[in-house]
Amino acid sequence: MTRLGLAAGYALDAAFGDPRRGHPVALFGRAAGALERRVWADSRPRGAAFAAACVGTAAGAGALLQLATRRRPFARFAATALATWTVLGGRGLAHEGAVMASLLDAGDVPAARQRLSHLCGRDATGLDTKELARAATESIAENTSDAVVAPLFWGSVAGLPGLLGYRALNTLDAMVGHHSPRYERFGWASARADDVANLLPARLGALAAVCCAPFAGGRPERAWRVWRRDAARHPSPNAGQVESAFAGALDIRLGGVNSYGGRAEDRGTLGDGPSPAPADLRRSVRLSQAVGLAALAGAVAR
């Protein structure tokens, strides 16, 4: 029933997206934020204990739910479907990509700069249409792995504990896993654990992007070549995988220097084509949706 629950949860996300109020991931984030304020210290061990407590609580709740439904197939199906719906973000990701493309097509750069925060934490001040399209396309690629492929992978491998534990870890990485004076040490464990959890899903997502390139007007052989050549140019061991595969599938150029809170990061150059335009952002949404379906097929066939 776990596989059927994964499929049903995917369908719920595709049909309804994230709930507007009381989203469980947002509630988890607020609880984790409250705990962080109580236990924060400029310390890796303290940060590791924080991550273990948060992820352990989420995965433990999933384990208890899995144990409680071990002899109740319909309850297992329903719990898995609801958990999958909770942790997936495919519809929301596609919606944000479409909104950004519409704003850029309309020439409303100030609104697009504000909207970019719905997709990533990049400093949008001063970004023009091409840079905004690039930022959004890169975020679509990375989050296809983080918010669709990886949850389905861990749900298929570990059931309810995998779904909830992975989503908790990925949320912590977004909260405390970035480079900053406050989180350089405290967020180290969350960031490294998230890297490990995404090692295989990111590569499966990149492979799916290669195979699904024709759905976005691309060629698998070009996507494969760019992926294998350029993935290591990105400083992230995982984001570079899917971003380079998307760049090759869409025949565009991604990467470059990005600003986060006044700190510049060189993300390398991925792909051979031109900078993405709003039309390419729309194509990236189609590719993301195709990759999500491929990930679902792999999860239920396992």
pLDDT digits (tens, 9 = 90+) for 196-230: 999 999 999 999 999 999 999 999 999 999 999 99
Q: CB pairs under 8 A, 24+ apart, for 11-18?
A: 12/81, 12/82, 12/84, 12/85, 13/84, 13/85, 13/88, 13/89, 13/90, 13/91, 14/90, 14/91, 15/91, 16/85, 16/91, 17/91, 17/92, 17/95, 18/89, 18/91, 18/92
pTM recorded for the entire structure: 0.92
The predicted model gives 83-112 an average pLDDT of: 94
Q: Is the pLDDT of residue 263 over 70?
A: no
Distance CA 77, CA 70 (A): 10
- For residues 134 and 258, the model is more confident at 134
User: Dihedral through CA 282, CA 94, CA 230, CA 200, nearest 10?
Assistant: -150
Paired tokens of 21: 């109020």
Alpha helices (H) along the chain? 2-16, 24-39, 44-68, 73-87, 90-105, 109-115, 129-144, 150-176, 183-186, 188-211, 220-230, 239-250, 278-301
pLDDT at 119: 87
